[in-house]
Structure 1
Amino acid sequence: MPSRAAPHARESVLRDRSFLLLLVATLGAFSGYVLLLPVVPLWAVTGGSGEVAAGATNGVFMLITVLTQLFMPWSLRRVDHRVALGVGTLLIGVPTPLFAVSTELWPLLAVSGVRGVGFGMLTVTGSALVAELVPAAQRGRATGLYGLAVGLPNAVLLPVGVWLARYVGFELLFWVAGALPVAAAGAAFGIARVPRRTPEAGPGRSSPFPVSLLSPWLVMLAVSIAAGGLVAFLPLAVADAVSPVALLAFGVATVGFRWVAGQLGDRFGSRWIPLPSAAIACLGLVVVALAATGPAWAAVPGALGLGAGFGALQNATLVLMFDRADSATASTAWNIAYDAGNGLGSVGFGAVVAAADHPTTFTAAAVLVACGVPVTVAIARRRS
């Protein structure tokens, strides 16, 4: 039976000023991040760096991001959340125009590293503020709206950044991509102060990574690996005319179903979301594997299925982690599963493709996600 929501659960989270400011800050910061995600490697290549060296710009960015995320639970117990969010947002934007100074690899890596520190602060603090600013009964919907602020720049601005670099110029784009987070930092500093909290006492809650987080963390990691591999290798596995449509379907489904899962989670309970979501993601990967052998158009519904499962799992696993640990620890664990999973997906898919072929690789990813289904059953059975 559906759980009976508290009266305030029906109120719109958009009435909360601080939560609205969080969405504005997130949208601006992620816009500055996404615009340059494919552009910085392209800028490095124009300066004579090889493709491997150019790819290192994003690799260093993500490495520093994850290392920063590891320190965020400690930091957020000592630093005001709005200060951490504002400083992180500024670190994404302020150094960005320095990309225009040189196309040499080492300066690009240095700027990317500073921006990675900011992105690590942004991702953990932003997710943690969702739990801090809204009542527990509204976390599903709030997480869904936060997911829209994160996902819309990814869905819209990835191709826009490349287009602007080619037709407007790299230098102007660097200034625009820097200005957006700097402007968004004003909204971050306007968020209400969050009281400092100490970790709750209880079994598993005093450890840096409570055991209670392991099951949703594993599910999130598995599907993030599959999603990261799909984004990196789908264009190589199917026809050029199909892959952009399939990736668009994946992106739209990811954003949309993260929001849908929030609505359903607040009404029925987030613990019921992972099982059908993992099953849909697994089925989508099977269809993509079939598309890699033909017909190629099947990659579109396959990518749509993976995106739907991935988006729903993003919402459900984050809300479940909030229920099991303090907001900073839960947010850190979730973001590491997401970011590390995407990185492992790119590297792991490349290794399997080199040893076998694309259909085998996508099938292996489906098996990986299927291995998490028993974990989702355990999540559904758990009541606390």
Structure 2
Amino acid sequence: MTRSPVTSVETTPTGPPGLKGQGFALLIAATAVGLCGFAAVLPLVPLWASRGGAGEFGAGATTAVFMLTTVLTQLCMPWLLDRAGGYRWTFPVGALVMGVPTPLFAMTTDLGPILVVSAVRGLGFGMVTVAGTALAARLVTREQVGRATGYYGLAVGLPQIVILPGGVALALALGFDTAFWLTGISGVVSAALASGILVADGGRNREALRSTGEQTPDRTDSPRGLPLLVALAAPLAVMLLIASGAGAIVTFLAIPLERAAWLVGALLAAYALMLVIGRWSAGMLFDRYGRTLLLLPGALSAVLGMVLIAVALWSNGDGAPGAGTAALVLGGAALFGAGFGAVQNETVTMMLNRAGPTGHGRASAVWNIGYDAGTGVGAVALGLVIQLSGYGPAFALLALALVAVVPLTLDRRR
């Protein structure tokens, strides 16, 4: 009788505990808390810089620098995950690097120091995003990957429904220093939660957290090198283009609409809410039908949403937004969020499946690079166009560029 529990543990399948495991729950909690800091700061720092006289290009540069160091870090992440035991430590360390420097923003509105702090935080964000996406797939069985990435998307997106508009509202009401301190603390809490994944579920997660270089699975099942890059090229291009639109929305819309604070909060909340719904719906449908169904509809929704935003800004000019402008901006933000959420989950599940179990780290890095590089490029490029031509023409040009996404979403049955 005393040996039955031991026998039960030894005969339990070696696979991860799955969606109901403590490790996966800790990952979701750590992601939700950590990404609160990201969501609050993303629209807050450009607004803070613009108050210091940085201009639209300088405001966009804060996001671009953050995303640049994020992408550079993500390029190194496959090696860290596969060869340096990175599945065990990169998430908590990244959460600390992303959170601890955040209160330094409150010390100055000068663009130079803001860019430096943004660059340091980007290092941590690059670690968190790649490690989190890969862990969402490694801590569950193959049959649960679609739902796992959907839950992970919820952890990323649900806090943004409150935090994206709430961060700006908090800063305007109580001060930017308070907002920066609170978001910095969230990184420390996230690191503490992520540190418990290794020991959760009676140690069963240790195998899932082992680097692929430490294992000896059938590695020939997964493409590597150039074949892998070719397999990931189309979903990567889709993410790059549509993420540029997301970067434009969260970086710039608070600036021309600052005189209508309620509208800024509402559009960011609508964007975040619909992003969550789109991503969750795509994950559920992928697990049920075994293929992507919302990639094309998601891309079309994102394009239409950006068109509505461009029309609203162009027609409104520099005046206070009226009812028509508000309706168009809210509808556009909601449509773009729903489409972008669906595209997020469809592209990440495509990449994870095409890369195979031993390529989760590489697929996660490529997907996150597409997301974050697109966000950074969209911010800095649109900032330059805005200074040259204004908000309406700049967003119209972006909407036209997003049309190029549509052909890349066709013929994805495999």
1:183 is the counterpart of 2:189: yes
Amino acid at match of 1:255: V
231, 255, 259: which one aligns with 2:276: 255
Per the alignment, do residues 359 and 170 of structure 1 end up closer, same or farther by CA in structure 2, a change over 3 Å counting? closer
**Counterpart position of 2:73:** 68
Amino acid at match of 1:317: T
TM-score (norm: length of structure 2)? 0.78
> Could you list the per-position Cα deviations for residues 213-272 of structure 1 after superposition, in whole angstroms to 9, with x for gaps in the alignment?
001111111211223234445567789475654443222111211111111111123422
291, 294, 312: which one aligns with 2:342: 312
**Counterpart position of 2:143:** 137
In the TM superposition, 1:1-384 aligns within 5 A as 14-40=19-45, 50-51=54-55, 56-78=61-83, 79-99=85-105, 106-191=112-197, 192-193=205-206, 194-198=209-213, 200-201=219-220, 205-207=224-226, 210-234=229-253, 240=260, 244-291=265-312, 292-293=314-315, 295-296=324-325, 297-325=327-355, 326-353=359-386, 360-380=393-413, 383=414
TM-score (norm: length of structure 1)? 0.83
Deviation at 1:115, TM superposition (A): 2.0
Deviation at 1:328, TM superposition (A): 1.0
The 2-side partners of 1:242 and 1:161 are apart by 14
Q: How many residues align?
A: 369
Per the alignment, do residues 235 and 183 of structure 1 end up closer, same or farther by CA in structure 2, a change over 3 Å counting? closer
Per the alignment, do residues 208 and 178 of structure 1 end up closer, same or farther by CA in structure 2, a change over 3 Å counting? farther
Deviation at 1:24, TM superposition (A): 1.0
The 1-side partners of 2:99 and 2:91 are apart by 13
8 Å CA contact 2:45, 2:62 repeated in 1: yes
Deviation at 1:110, TM superposition (A): 3.8
Amino acid at match of 1:184: S
CA RMSD, Structure 1 to Structure 2 (Å): 3.2
Per the alignment, do residues 162 and 271 of structure 1 end up closer, same or farther by CA in structure 2, a change over 3 Å counting? closer
- Overall identity of the aligned pairs, in %: 45
Deviation at 1:311, TM superposition (A): 0.6
The 2-side partners of 1:323 and 1:293 are apart by 44
> Could you list the per-position Cα deviations for residues 149-178 of structure 1 after superposition, in whole angstroms to 9, with x for gaps in the alignment?
111232211333344445545544444322
Q: Which range moves more in the overlay, 285-294 or 126-135? A: 285-294
The 2-side partners of 1:364 and 1:65 are apart by 26
Deviation at 1:77, TM superposition (A): 0.6
Amino acid at match of 2:332: G
**Counterpart position of 1:6:** none
Deviation at 1:377, TM superposition (A): 1.4
The 2-side partners of 1:343 and 1:110 are apart by 15
**Counterpart position of 2:11:** none
In structure 1, the gaps of 5 or more residues are: 1-11
Q: Which range moves more in the overlay, 243-252 or 74-83? A: 243-252
8 Å CA contact 2:137, 2:360 repeated in 1: yes
Amino acid at match of 1:26: T
8 Å CA contact 2:165, 2:269 repeated in 1: no
The 2-side partners of 1:235 and 1:97 are apart by 21
Deviation at 1:333, TM superposition (A): 0.9
The 2-side partners of 1:361 and 1:55 are apart by 13
Per the alignment, do residues 150 and 357 of structure 1 end up closer, same or farther by CA in structure 2, a change over 3 Å counting? same
Amino acid at match of 2:161: A
